[in-house]
Each structure stands twice: as structure tokens, then as C-alpha cells.
Amino acid sequence: MSKSDHSSFPLSPFPLWFPALWAGGASLTFPSHGLSYPPMKSCEPDEIQSRSCKLGPHWVTLECRGGKVASVALGKRGARDDRKLAKDLERVLQGGMIPEYLHVDTAGLFGFTRRVLGRCAGIPTGQVMTYSELARAVGSPRGERAAGQVMANNPFALLIPCHRVVGSDYTLHGFGGGLDMKEWLLAREGWQFEGKGKSRKLAGRPTQARESRA
């Protein structure tokens, strides 16, 4: 479905039930677009490395610990522009496999946060979910605001694509890299927009978008 067609939205097709991410430390793969996360392993606290790159006009900085990504900071200028990292992130954003060195360190994530991040990780390139849909998908139909908080504090932006989660009226809400970067990321995936500033939203009619999922 073309994202230039304003009559409908290609929302995430996954069913409302979705397994908890990394449950029991087991590897979990999302076959729709090749996302793969390995079992959790202990990390030495002194094994910390920072890598940065530019995606378009936007800086991305990864803090790595014990061979896994511990956090992703958006808009933080790095010491140098790592083009290999940029290419690998570009590939991930296009739906490709996540290289081993970009596997995320999920230690310390539990319960609702873990489930929400796991479900968000399953949103394919070019599709979106609303915060309320995300909450329902993890079994918390009244957890829209809580799901929004998890997205706002997502430590693995881009690798877990919280930019693909929008408001119930398809308005763009808070994002670690700012709304300009969120719009830039979604535009790269083919989306068009209407409005400006905080009123920016995906162009189209939400009622028909929901009908398209039936």
C-alpha cells in the first residue's frame, strides 16, 4: 500500500497478542524483518565504548558495554562520524538484520517496559502503531499513557523503532531526538505530513486507517 495514498494507513499488522521480549533469556527473532536479539549475558562494567555517526543531519551516539548496546543518544555530537555504523543503522532502519555488535543489553528491563519495548521492536519499516494500540497489544488496554512514557524513555531508539509509534489522531509526540528527527525518520519510510510544529501528524484519515486493518 502506498503511503502517498491519504485514504488509509499501513498500520502494523501484528496481532494484539505478542510474546514478551527476551523471555527467559532466550533469543527472539522477528521473522517479518529479520530483527534478532540474543540471550542476555553478563557484561563487565568497565567494558564501555562510545561510537557516533550522522544519519542525514542528525547525530547518533551509542554507548556499548560488554559487546552490547547499553544506550542510544540522539542529537549528541560525537567525536567522529563512524560511516560503518551509519551504514549498519541505515540497513536496520530499512528492515535488515541487526549486526551482532548492535544487539541491545536488556539487563534491568522488566514487566510492562520489557513487553512494550518488545512489541515496538516488531513494528516493520513503513508501518506505525498508536500508543493505545501498543498498550492493548501487551495486554494493558488502559495503559496508553504508560506506553507513551516507555517510548519517551526508550534507551534503544532506532534499534527499537519508537519513532513508529504515534498519537491516537496520528499526531507526532515526544521523541528523544526531537519531532524534527521523528518526522525525518518517518518521511524516509515514505510518510507524508500535515500541520506544523506540535500539530504535525501523518496525512490521512484515522477512521479509514482502522478500517483498513479489518
Q: Which of 53, 64, 120, 162 is catalytic?
A: 162
* HEC profile of the chain: CCCCCCCCCCECCCCCCCCCCCHHHCCEEECCCCEEECCCCCCCCCCEEEEEEEECCEEEEEEEECCEEEEEEECCCCCCCCHHHHHHHHHHHCCCCCCHHHCECCCCCCHHHHHHHHHHCCCCCCCEEEHHHHHHHCCCCCCHHHHHHHHHCCCCECCECHHHEECCCCECCCCCCCHHHHHHHHHHCCCCEECCHHHCEECCCHHHHHHCCC
Q: Is 162 a catalytic residue?
A: yes
Q: Which residues are tagged catalytic?
A: 162
